[in-house]
Structure 1
Amino acid sequence: MHFDSKVYVAGHSGMVGSAIVRVLKAEGYFNIICKRSFELDLKNQNDVDLFFAEERPDYVFLAAAKVGGIGANIAAPAEFLYDNLMINTNVINSAYKYNVKKLLFLGSSCIYPKLSLQPMKEEYLLDGKLEPTNEGYALSKIAGIKLCEYYNKQYGTNFISAMPPNLYGENDNFDPEHSHVIAALLRKFHEAKINDDKNVVIWGTGKARREFMYVDDAARACLFLMLNYDGNSHINIGSGEDVSIEELALIIKDIVAFDGVIEKDTSKPDGMPRKLMDNSKINEFGWKFSISLSEGLAKTYKWYLERN
């Protein structure tokens, strides 16, 4: 991938896509194509086909997706499955039709079975039942992985897939109804602090464990794979470290400087008991994460404060 190669970042306005654009620009890539959703509806096959026919990108980072936390996934599973299936299918198929040199599809650690062995290796995919609370989203990501694999096998394309853990950072969605756990907790603790509340309520038992990665680390991993990996198997890109939701809440409580107490609403679901990925494959290629959880949380909270 040359610095003047035409690179399309699908989902550039989202948290992951915007981080990929930042990393590309920082590394010297300047011929980057970006389209907002009102300019190009990736769920519309004809529009996507026309876009690829006109622009003819050399490389594609497929980071566009309908995303949300556990509450949003429970409330709208049909949308999470349908919207993401359409986005993935349209972009991957058009990338094949218009001879894209290489595509990277960004998935999610939720593709692995609910009771998967830990840490989760790439080969554990489809080895058991999925977590019901985000099954629709997970199925769409599994379909994207398999579509990349099958196009490679049948048509000789070079489409690869990267599986990040729970991501957070700049441009995260802090909407209380649709945010992921870190954005939701940062906002909860911040508002509790400014409102002088005595407590913050977290969902579930607090015992569920999650692996988190600062979004700029994930973007650097995506570029690394685009430049260095051509295999047909999806690759995990994570930190190899996890924390319980209760431990996460305590770290955020300290960063925000909230003086109250943490309460647990055990009527709410925990989701998967644990999601820790085995990252040995990408580590063997020579890549490792660089931003610790506490450092990344501090950066994210600073970014949030500057905009609220």
Structure 2
Amino acid sequence: MRILLTGGNGMVGRNVLEHPDAKLYSILAPSSSELNLLNYQVVEKCLIENKPDIIIHTAGRVGGIQANIREPVRYLLENLDMGRNIVWAARQTGIKRLINLGSSCMYPRNAENPLIEEDLLTGELEPTNEGYALAKNTIARLCSYISQEDHSYKFKTLIPCNLYGRWDKFGPENSHMLPGVIQKITDAKIKGQNEVEIWGDGFASREYLYAGDLADCLMHAVKNFNELPSLMNVGTGYACTINAYYQAVAEVIGYNGVFNHNLSKPVGMKKKLVSIEKQEQWGWRPKTSLKEGILKTYLFYLNENKNK
């Protein structure tokens, strides 16, 4: 089977390529310089020339709360254009199977937890990442429209909770909460700092999935594509408070300092936990515990920065 994997140099894409089952397939994973997803003609030409059996669309402009607040236009337009180009080019070139990667940011800010797939587009989005969420919702709906109009096209969307892991972004300008915490506490330990700042009161809760587990889910989806729901959350089934994540990272790293709360900083949604009912019915669960995932991510971070 020939797979076209967009975002092959991103965190999810790299974890897919590292997965043991990746060797079972012929995976084409062009970089953004090799395949400009913002150019429709380039995307269509790539699909015509390579004729993949299935597309896994993981590419996107991804960043944490600071980046989304700072550049909402970029997060809206680039994710919208990339998604539209790959999905519509697949439809135009007759590629029948596609897995689109969404985000739990797609859900309304006040939706009841756990978030079920039917909650999408039923309320106001979280303002701190609204542009990104609008783009992701639009592409998911485009996939469903195409499949509705012609049932021979099976364009499906997976909606993972927050991710972390190997090949993540760790800098405060672009990172999500958990990888940012790993960098922050590691730096504090190395520099001998006795205090680390937490944005907000730390009682907001988040669900985090190790990226290697999402890669495992994607490989399972390729093998069991026909049984895969057209729209499905991917998560762990539990959420932890921000304070608990800081404590878990400190324990793994061996940091013994104290945490101070900056109540002037934004924290986003108070709670975000996706329902995994469909995921469990489909027959998949993540394998990596939180502390195991933190340790793997921490060791990756140390290795990537040892020569800097």
Q: TM-score, normalised by structure 2?
A: 0.95
CA distance in 2, matches of 1:105, 1:288: 19
Map 1:184-195 onto structure 2 (within 5 A).
184-195=180-191
Shift of 1:176: 2.2
Q: What one-letter code is carried by the residue in structure 2 that aligns with 1:15?
A: M
| Cα deviation, residue 174, structure 1 | 1.2
> How far 1:155 moved relative to its partner?
2.8
Gaps of 5+ in 1: none
Matched, 1:6 2:2: yes
The one of 204, 214, 217 equivalent to 1:218 is 214
How far off its partner does 1:226 sit?
3.1
What's the RMSD between the two structures over aligned residues? 1.3
1:202 and 1:165 mapped to 2: Cα distance?
A: 21
Which one of 160, 176, 195 corresponds to residue 199 of structure 1?
195
> What pairs up with 1:141-290 in 2 under 5 angstroms?
141-156=136-151, 157-230=153-226, 233-290=230-287
Within-5 A mapping of 1:117-156: 117-156=112-151
| Residues 229, 278 of structure 2: 8 Å contact kept | no
Q: Deviations over 1:209-234 (max 9, x none)?
A: 00111001111112223332446641
Aligned pair count reads 303
8 Å CA contact 1:9, 1:21 repeated in 2: no
**Equivalent position to 2:41, from 46, 59, 64:** 46
In 2, the alpha carbon distance for the partners of 1:73 and 1:119 equals 24
User: What amino acid maps onto 2:282 in structure 1?
Assistant: F
- SS of equivalent residue, structure 2 residue 169: coil
Q: Identify the range of structure 1 (230-239 vs 217-226) with the bigger mean alpha-carbon deviation.
A: 230-239
Deviations 1:123-181 (A, max 9, x none): 11112111100001111110111010001011331111000001000100112211111
Amino acid at match of 2:286: F
User: Once the 2 structures are TM-superposed, how far is the Cα of residue 29 of structure 1 from its aligned partner?
Assistant: 2.0
Q: Secondary structure of the residue that 2:98 maps to in structure 1? A: strand
Q: Using the alignment, how far apart are the partners of 1:43 and 1:155 within structure 2?
A: 26
Letter in 1 for 2:74: E
1:37-68 CA distance string (max 9 Å, x none): 11111011111111112111111100000000
1:167 counterpart SS class:
strand
Which of these residues, 13, 32, 43, is aligned with residue 37 of structure 1? Answer: 32
Structure 2 residue corresponding to 1:90, chosen from 82, 85, 94? 85
Cα separation, 2, equivalents of 1:239 and 1:257? 25
Q: Distance in 1 between matches of 2:109 and 2:140?
A: 18
